Amino acid sequence: MMKQGKTDGALTVIGWHECISLPELGLKDFAVKVDTGAKTTALHADDIETFFKGDIEWVRFRSPRIAGTPARICEFEVFTNRDITNTSGQPQTRIVIRTPMILAGRKWKIDISLTDRGTMRFPLILGRRALRRHNIAVHPGKSYLVSTKPNLEG
């Protein structure tokens, strides 16, 4: 049985590369880079567009193609817009969604900014806000401590 959210148990140590799942996006056990230098988690998304359902702002985007999983069109309520400094040091305002993540057999909701990471090796960078208050530490010299290294081909 998967634990929900916060735990009172032992510290979970993860590597700086791990596999996570984002079930509401249809993405299962894919490799991500864990980056405690990044506050917010960022996901590669294409064709990002906002629209309204009634008076609520939503976003539609194409998820990244992960080995064995085709890209798909996703729709989420916009959680917020957040000013984020990108990897080049340039400030950007990004759309942020909130969705469940599964890591190390545990599931909790995280905030994810949508951006073009098409030139990056990993489609998602897992920032420190997603890990805080969940009793998780990152081992900077190890990878795949709580998941199996995927075949990154394909």
Domains and CATH numbers, the chain: 3-139 (2.40.70.10)
Q: How far apart are CA 77 and CA 86, in angstroms?
A: 23
Give percent of the chain with pLDDT exceeding 70: 92
CB atoms within 10 A of CB 122: 18
- Per-residue confidence (pLDDT) for residue 129, from 0 to 100: 95
- Could you read off the pLDDT of 16-70 as tens digits, one per residue? 999 999 999 999 999 999 999 899 999 999 999 999 999 999 999 999 998 778 9
The predicted structure's pLDDT at residue 154? 43
Tell me: pLDDT of 95 over 70.
Answer: yes
